[in-house]
Each structure stands twice: as C-alpha cells, then as structure tokens.
Structure 1
Amino acid sequence: MIKLEITPPASQRHAFTHLGFRPFFLAAGLYALVGMLLWTALYSFNWQGLHSAYPSITWHAHEMVFGYAAAVAAGFLLTAIKNWTGQQTLSGTPLLLLAGLWLAARVLPFTGLPLVWTAVLDVVWLTGLLVAAALPIIRAKQWNQAAIVGKVALLLLANTLFYLGLLGIWAQGMQLGLYAGFYVIVALILTMGRRVIPFFIERGVGCPFTAQNHSRIDRASLILFLLFMLADLLAMASGHPGSAWAAALLALVQVPLHILRLWGWYHPNIWQKPLLWVLYLAYGWLIAGFALKFLSLAAGISPFLAVHAFAYGGIATLTVGMMARVTLGHTGRNVAEPPSLVSVIFGLLLIGTLVRVVAVWLLPQFYALWILMAQFIWIVAFALFVWQYAPMLIKPRVDGRYG
C-alpha cells in the first residue's frame, strides 16, 4: 500500500524526494536525451541493441508516449494535485520507488530479458501513478478533478493494450494502444494547457490583462477531441474509409476552435517572455497537427507529419516550457527571470519541429538527412535543458522551504 506523508516538515534534507516534479522532470529530461541517442543509433546507424522481438520504430513511438511524456505528466500531476487539494502527494521513499519502476521499464528492453517483464513493470508503474494521483483527490473530495485521474486510467489501459499486442496476445492491441496513449497525452496537454497557459499569461505579461476563455469552446473542444480520437481508433481497427474521413473532418473542425481559444489568450507582451511564447507557439503546433491530420487523408500527405507536429512541436516543446517554469516556481526562484539559456532550448525545439515536419514534407528527397538533423537538434536541446535544470531539481529550494 502506498503511504502518503500528510504533513512533512519544511526541511533542506532529501529535497529531491519532496515533490513529484523533482525526480520525474529530471527523469523525463534525461530520458529525452538518452532515448533519442538510442533512437538515433537504432534508426540512423542500424544499432542492434534492442530486444529482437521489439521493432525499433515501435519502441521509439512507445517510449516518447509512455516513457517521456508519461514521466512529465507524473511530475506535473504529483505536484499540481498537492496545490489543488491541499493534500500531500507522494514523497520520500514511495516517490523514489515509483520513479524506480518507471526507470526499470525503460531499461529492460535492452537487457535481453523476456518482454513480459517490461510489460509487467510498465503497467505496475502506471498503476502506482494512478493510485498516487487519485488518493489525494478522493481524500479532499474534489470530484471535479476526476477527469484528470480518468486520463491517467486511460493511459494505463492504452499501455496494457499495447503490450497485449507486443506480446502477441491481441494483434491489433499494439497499434490501438499506442495511438490511444498518444491521444490521451494530447488530451492531457490540451486540458492542462487550458488551465495554466492563460493563467501564466495573465500573471506574466507585466500589465493588467484578462485572458478570454469561453465555456462553449471548452465544451466543444472536449467533445470534438473525444469523437476524433474514437473515430481515428475505429478507423485503425476496422479499416473503414468512413471512419477515417470522420476522424479527418473532426480534426479539421478543431482547427478554428483552438485558434479562437489561442487568440483569446493573446497579448503582445508574451514575445518578451520566453516562458510564455514557448507555450503559445507549442499550442500552435498542436493546432497544426489537427490540420495536417486532415490533409493526410484529403491531400495524401504522410500521416507522420501530423504525428510529429503533435509530438515534437506540441507535446515536447510545451512540456519543456512547462517543466522550465514549474521548476523555477517550485524551487523558490523568480519565474519572471528565467535563465537566458531557455530561449535557446525553446528555439532549438521549434527549429527541430520545422525540420521534422516542414522540411520532410517539402523536400522528401533528403528524408534521411532531415531525420538525423531533427534527432541532433532534439539531443542538443535536451542536453542543455538537463545541464541547466538538473541542479535546480536536485538541490533544496533557494528560500529554504519544503518543496
């Protein structure tokens, strides 16, 4: 049973285990770096270090979703839920054990051990995250937060389906689980983005400003994304062109909807604040992902352009921006004065997205070069992120408080 420490004393000792953002943001940053080095070796240099029954491209896709993105989600949720509920979230040894389960599931595919062990540990760690996220919400009786816990449950279900496919139990499980998990992460990013991006902009532009949010847009975006996700998964499962066109049209409808949302959050001062413009531009790449999803069917372009607009430009760039800001705030630093290096990190990820999506689209004859370049840019960006932020995540808060 996971034991939560209800009222931990403010202390400088063992700061690394005070809140979930510390181990999981560090793990996410390091894994984005190491995982991409491994993917570059596997894909671009034909390294054979991965388990022979695990296709390398499938491993890459799975680990970006259930490895990197899930670690960021764990760090964010185990920190934010404490603020929302007033209940202490997982800390101390239980937090390290949860992070250790995550790490073990990342390492096992390269050990040669049967993949069933990877599957078991990966499912167990997500189950632990689900319990750790749900308990404080249940104790505080904040049932309005149930949707967040529901997304973690769906992520767990998607990962289970993936491994049923990988282990040969249900052939369609691998693709359906992978894309279901991917869309759950996109949904989580959209949900958290709606909560925090306008909040950060209002408090970061340096002048009175109220970001515009419309309940109709919020409800419509939630319903349309759910329908889009179900239609696309149904199209994969059935191969029916009607489902594929339904998914494409549902993706297209979301483009103007999210543009309106983004316009309501706009203030010209965001361009003076890297921790604001990175979130704004990353959200824009999510919108581009919906447009490219439609074009993949309507114009016959590669569906992986949409995937990487969502993943590289949207998920990766937005999560790095979030980690950069959350780390500053929760280690007692001034979020209005981030390290100057963050602009370089954010700029590299946005350039990498252009290479992986736009250059690949317009100049496909240089595909291998663009892929290698996008991999290299990603590696440099995350190396800089880890170099800049690892000391903040490991060391105690600068103000001496708990957290």
Structure 2
Amino acid sequence: MSGAKPSPTETEDMQQTHTMPNLPGAKTAFSWEAFLSLGFRPFYIAGAAYAAISVPLWVASIIGFVDINGPLDGVLWHSHELIFGFAVAILIGFLYTAVQNWTGRKTPNGLVLGGLLGMWLAARILLFVGSGPLGSLGQIIDLLFLPLAALGIAIPLYQAKNTRNYFTVALLLVLAVGNGLFHAIALDMVSYDGADVFLWAVDVFAIFITVIGGRIIPLFTNNALGVRRAVRSQRLEDVIGLGMVLLLVSDIYYGLTYEAATIRAVGLLVLAGLHFFKMGLWQPQITWGKPILWILPVSYAWLPIALLLRAGALLDMPWDQVLAVHAITVGSMAGMMLAMMTRSALGHSGRPLVPTWVEITIYYLIVASAAVRVFGILLYPEGYFVVLGVSALCWVGAFGLFTGRYWGIVTRPRF
C-alpha cells in the first residue's frame, strides 16, 4: 500500500492483451504439465467447482436433507468453508500467478503445486464427512495449508525485494490465524464467536479488493478504451488502505457486537464515502458497453454498499450486520473473483480478452445473486428461504458456468 510505482513486470501483467484466436481443435488433450504449470489453473477451477457444490450443500443442510458430519457444525462449517475453502483457493491461485509476474520468479508449480492442491482438497472432504480421527486429520491438514501456501509467495517476493507486495504475505498469515481460531472454537478451546472470526476474515479480503482493485480497475479501463479518463490517486489509496486496516483492527476487537456503535458507524460512513469518491475518479460509466470492464467497478461498489449497511445496522436500522457481510462476500468478493478469474484465465492461456455469452451470463448471475441476497431480504423478509434459494441458484449458475467453460482452458497448454 506504499506509494511506489508498479514494477515493469507488474505493469506488463496488468496490461496484458491477447489477440491470438481460439482455434478449434487446437491442443485439446488434458495435460497434467499444463494444469500444474501456474497457480491459477488448479486453484481457480477447484475453487469455482467447490463454490458451486458447497452452497447447495449448505442450503440442503438447513432444510434437513444433508448432514454435515465433520468437526465443524453447520453454521461454523458454512462460514469456514466460504472463506477458507472457496475464497482462499481463488486467492492463492491469483497470488501465485500475479507474484510470478510481479517478480519474474517462479511460484509453486508441478508436484509442489499438486501437493498443495491435494492438501486443500483433502481438507475439504475430511471437514465435511470426517468424524473422530479423520475429522482431526482434516483440521491438521487445513491448518497447515495456509502457512505453506504463503511460503509460495513469500520466497519470490523476498528474493526479488518486492516490498510493495509484502502486505499479501502478512494478510495470508492473518487469515491463517483466523483459520486456527475457527478450529479452536470447534474444539471448545476458546470462547470466541465464530461469526466474529468470519467478519474479520472477510475484512482481510476487503483489504485485498481495496488495494488490488485500486491498482487494476483504472489501468484496465484506460488501456481497454484507449483513454486516460480513469484517475488513480495514490494518496487516496493510502488513506483508504489505512482505513480498511483500522476497520480490521476494530472488528477483531468488537466483532459483530453493538459496542461503541455510534463512533464505529461514523467511521464506516466516512470510509464508504472515500470508497465512492475513489470510484468516481474511475468514471465507471465509461465501461458500461464492455462487460469484461464493468463487472470490476460493479463488484467493487458492493464494498462501500456493505460499509453503509453496517453503519445503518449499528445505528438501529431494521437489518443486522450479517446482511452487510453478505454484500461483501457475494457481491464484492465473488464478483471481483469471477471478474479476475475469467480475465486472467483467458489472458494467461493466450486467448483474446473478449467475453462470450458464457462470461457475460456469469457476470449477470453473480450480480443478481448479490442483489437478491441483500435487497431481497430487505424487501421481502418473510420470504427468507425463497430469497436464499434464488440467490443460491444464481451463485451456483455463475460458478457452475465458470467450471464448465474453463475446465478445458486450464487443463490444456497455452495457445
């Protein structure tokens, strides 16, 4: 979050455009070498598939069709897996790909990358079905995954002296601490509330969105449209970044309680205003004709919307803070992830950055999922399960389409 300029390799990665056509029948065979060549390939597809599977499992468990037999109970499992299952997988895939471009040094690939993927997958299975020793084994594997995965970016960043991006390692370690707390709660080792851990884990992802989004959205907009109308202010980025870190500290201390509600609400309102001002500098209206562009500011916008909703909840408006958290998880996190997953998977596989009807449908579905999950509850509170079901269907549709469309892309060599 410093004021340093992007490195040449980082800028080149952000500016990638590809015009090579997607030739029918070219390199159609599955390739383990290709699949494990770069982090985005296994972790994007694994994270997306898990997102499409885990939410229906959660809904099925709510209505009694499925039992979660692992060491985490129903609500704790859902909260944990949304962050440390689905979201962490996508984040690791993104960081392994980005850090290699930022530093010019290799991030985990081949057998090492495959081993990390195996750990992630084993943890998901055992935390859902494993009881007794198998459940404990799943917890151990899950606890080891994030610190080991963090080494995969810490080493190349340190070797390249890329101090600008050291914050990514620090945030992964904060997530590792949160993961440890989740498992300690499940084992009755601490009295901390799992919902509070979930909140500040979401804050960590919000910081990633704030920093990375602040770098790439105006850059992508200007490059794609051939204009310099989207403006980025480093001073504003630093102020907002500091504000997001203070929000994380506040949420670690207060959690979802209503203590110091007024002062916290004022802080949230100020922070939301700064985010909206930052977005105004991007002039997002110029992206409306380009789905691969507009999905970025639209997804980012859910972050200040969530801050406004949290402020309202603290000021006794007729909704709770959990609604605001879902605005971030479904709207901002999932939206930004799908935006970057489609874009970087196309670019790094040598395909043109031109969305097909599949990508456009993915974007509309995830926006719809967030809008229904947040505003549907506000407008139709008595229809909670209907709203939840419609939002879940849109979510599953978005990530299911990504999985189906991109399986053939991430498992085959680059064009």
TM-score (norm: length of structure 2): 0.88
Alpha-carbon contact 2:203-2:247 (below 8 Å) kept: no
Is 2:53 aligned against 1:34? yes
Cα distance between partner residues in 1 of 2:71 and 2:176: 22
Is 2:224 aligned against 1:204? yes
1:264 is matched with: 281
After TM superposition, list the pairs within 5 Å mapping 1:321-340 onto structure 2: 321-335=339-353, 337-340=354-357
- Residue 210 of structure 1: CA displacement? 4.6
Alpha-carbon contact 2:43-2:117 (below 8 Å) kept: yes
Cα distance between partner residues in 2 of 1:52 and 1:228: 32
- Residue 268 of structure 1: CA displacement? 3.9
- Residue 42 of structure 1: CA displacement? 0.9
After TM superposition, list the pairs within 5 Å mapping 1:211-226 onto structure 2: 211-226=230-245
Cα distance between partner residues in 2 of 1:248 and 1:390: 44
- Residue 128 of structure 1: CA displacement? 1.1
Alpha-carbon contact 1:20-1:90 (below 8 Å) kept: yes
After TM superposition, list the pairs within 5 Å mapping 1:227-376 onto structure 2: 227-236=246-255, 241-242=259-260, 244-298=261-315, 299-335=317-353, 337-376=354-393
Cα distance between partner residues in 2 of 1:249 and 1:178: 22
Cα distance between partner residues in 2 of 1:240 and 1:347: 35
Is 2:184 aligned against 1:167? no
What is the aligned-residue RMSD (CA, Å)?
1.7
SS at match of 2:255: helix
Deviations 1:274-314 (A, max 9, x none): 11111110011111001001011111412121011111111
Alpha-carbon contact 1:162-1:175 (below 8 Å) kept: no
Alpha-carbon contact 1:50-1:56 (below 8 Å) kept: yes
After TM superposition, list the pairs within 5 Å mapping 1:134-153 onto structure 2: 134-153=154-173
Deviations 1:48-79 (A, max 9, x none): 42126522122111111111111111000000
Cα distance between partner residues in 2 of 1:110 and 1:240: 33
Deviations 1:239-298 (A, max 9, x none): 5722x4333222111111011111111254411211111111001111100100101111
31, 34, 52: which is aligned to 1:15?
A: 34
Cα distance between partner residues in 1 of 2:193 and 2:75: 16
Cα distance between partner residues in 1 of 2:259 and 2:147: 35
Structure 2 residue identity aligned to 1:289: A
Is 2:100 aligned against 1:82? yes
1:401 is matched with: none
Deviations 1:87-126 (A, max 9, x none): 0111000001001111111111222333432221111111
After TM superposition, list the pairs within 5 Å mapping 1:171-182 onto structure 2: 171-172=191-192, 174-182=194-202
- Residue 329 of structure 1: CA displacement? 0.5
Alpha-carbon contact 2:258-2:314 (below 8 Å) kept: no
Alpha-carbon contact 1:66-1:181 (below 8 Å) kept: no
Alpha-carbon contact 1:317-1:346 (below 8 Å) kept: yes
Alpha-carbon contact 1:161-1:176 (below 8 Å) kept: no
Structure 2 residue identity aligned to 1:357: V
Higher alpha-carbon deviation: 53-62 or 161-170: 53-62
Alpha-carbon contact 2:362-2:401 (below 8 Å) kept: yes
Show structure 1 runs of 5+ residues with no match.
1-11, 399-403
Aligned positions, number: 382
1:73 is matched with: 91
Is 2:178 aligned against 1:158? yes
Alpha-carbon contact 1:232-1:247 (below 8 Å) kept: no
97, 115, 126: which is aligned to 1:97?
A: 115
Structure 2 residue identity aligned to 1:165: I
Alpha-carbon contact 1:82-1:88 (below 8 Å) kept: yes
Structure 2 residue identity aligned to 1:170: V
Alpha-carbon contact 1:164-1:173 (below 8 Å) kept: no
Alpha-carbon contact 2:331-2:366 (below 8 Å) kept: yes
Cα distance between partner residues in 2 of 1:38 and 1:174: 20
Higher alpha-carbon deviation: 23-32 or 377-386: 377-386
103, 108, 119: which is aligned to 2:139?
A: 119
Larger relative CO (CA 8 A, sep 6+): 1 or 2? 2
373, 386, 390: which is aligned to 2:407?
A: 390
Alpha-carbon contact 1:160-1:177 (below 8 Å) kept: no
1:25 is matched with: 44
Cα distance between partner residues in 2 of 1:240 and 1:386: 40
Cα distance between partner residues in 1 of 2:266 and 2:111: 48
Cα distance between partner residues in 1 of 2:210 and 2:141: 28
Structure 1 residue identity aligned to 2:177: L
- Residue 173 of structure 1: CA displacement? 5.9
Deviations 1:359-392 (A, max 9, x none): 1111101111111111111111211111111111
191, 198, 203: which is aligned to 1:183?
A: 203
- Residue 189 of structure 1: CA displacement? 1.8
Cα distance between partner residues in 1 of 2:279 and 2:52: 30
1:58 is matched with: 76
2:398 is matched with: 381
Cα distance between partner residues in 1 of 2:124 and 2:263: 36
